[in-house]
């Protein structure tokens, strides 16, 4: 059976931060007098961020403000927290905070040439549209499904059901690629999608038993094999 649609997780699948989150937070925080090391901020971010994402557009900015507040409450509060947060929040609205993986655009171009429908499923907030636009890949996507618009975050099955409805293709004709074994690959498979783990740094054991790639270019090989 030939796939009709290819869907992607967003952060760490299509694009990544320009440096670690801790480095970006620290760069802005130092302008507000903070002397905390980027590594300490990164460790605190990992402790405080739970990968779920905001579940409504009404409070998505406050959701992130609470996360960032907990980070700096942990490592040492920034003076003038409110204007600091505004600066750091805007840093992640576009290409100032994000960059494409080197192969992303060429893979999307080839998938579009091959006439696949393309989409995103992500625990992101509404800034994803400006991020994708600033990275010059927004126009590739037929559908974008995010937690703050659906009210459900991966691994909840409802966000996958919403993506299936939006892209308009049966689940068994959709390929979904993500970097999180539980939230993307296993949850997507349970929702009826075919799934692939992108493991750029070989962090997961090959004994997971799931199809795994280290580069998005390998998706093209998977699709060609499927069609042959």
Distance CA 76, CA 191 (A): 42
- Residue of higher predicted confidence among 13 and 207: 13
**Domain ranges (residues) in the chain:** 5-16+98-227, 19-91
pLDDT tens digit sequence for 15-38: 999 999 999 999 999 999 999 999
State percent of the chain over pLDDT 90. 86
Distance CA 213, CA 9 (A): 14
What average pLDDT does this structure show over 55-67?
Answer: 92
Residue 165 pLDDT greater than 90, yes or no: yes
Residue 222 pLDDT greater than 80, yes or no: no
- pLDDT score of 221: 83
Strands of the sheet containing 143-146, edge to edge, are 143-146, 117-122, 5-8, 174-178, 194-198, 212-213
State percent of the chain over pLDDT 70. 95
CATH architecture of 19-91: Orthogonal Bundle (1.10)
Mean pLDDT check: name the lowest of 95-99, 104-108, 152-156, 217-221.
217-221
Residue 227 pLDDT greater than 60, yes or no: no
Mean pLDDT check: name the lowest of 17-26, 49-58, 122-131, 149-158.
49-58
5-16+98-227 and 19-91: same fold?
no
- pLDDT score of 152: 95
Residue 207 pLDDT greater than 70, yes or no: no
What is the dotted CATH code of the domain comprising 5-16+98-227?
3.40.50.1000
What average pLDDT does this structure show over 132-152?
Answer: 97
- Please report, for residues 44, 123, 209, the alpha-carbon distance to residue 183 in angstroms, rounded to integers and kept in the order given: 22, 10, 16
Residue 164 pLDDT greater than 90, yes or no: yes
pTM over 0.85: yes
pLDDT category of residue 203 using cuts at 50, 70 and 90:
confident
CA 122 from chain centre, in angstroms, equals: 5
Which contiguous run of DSSP H or E holds residue 68? helix 60-75
- pLDDT score of 205: 57
Largest separation between any pair of C-alpha atoms in the chain: 60
pLDDT category of residue 201 using cuts at 50, 70 and 90:
confident
């Amino acid at each position: 059976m030939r796939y009709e649609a290819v869907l992607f997780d967003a952060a760490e699948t299509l694009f990544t931060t320009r440096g670690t989150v801790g480095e970006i937070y620290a760069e802005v925080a130092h302008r507000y007098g903070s002397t905390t090391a980027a590594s300490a901020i990164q460790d605190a971010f990992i402790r405080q961020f739970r990968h779920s994402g905001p579940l409504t557009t009404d409070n998505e900015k406050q959701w992130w403000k609470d996360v960032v507040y907990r980070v700096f409450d942990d490592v040492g509060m920034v003076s003038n927290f409110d204007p600091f947060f505004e600066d750091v929040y805007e840093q992640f609205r576009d290409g100032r905070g994000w960059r494409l993986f080197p192969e992303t655009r060429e893979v999307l171009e080839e998938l579009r040439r091959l006439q696949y429908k393309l989409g995103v499923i992500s625990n992101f907030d509404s800034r994803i549209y400006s991020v994708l636009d600033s990275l010059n890949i927004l126009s590739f996507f037929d559908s974008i499904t995010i937690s703050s618009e659906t009210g459900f975050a991966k691994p909840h099955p409802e966000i996958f059901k919403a993506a299936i409805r939006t892209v308009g293709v049966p689940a068994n004709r959709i390929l979904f690629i993500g970097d999180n074994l539980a939230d993307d690959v296993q949850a997507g498979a349970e929702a009826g999608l075919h799934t692939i783990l992108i493991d750029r740094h070989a962090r997961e054991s090959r004994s997971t038993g799931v199809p795994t790639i280290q580069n998005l270019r390998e998706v093209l090989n998977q699709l060609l094999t499927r069609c042959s």
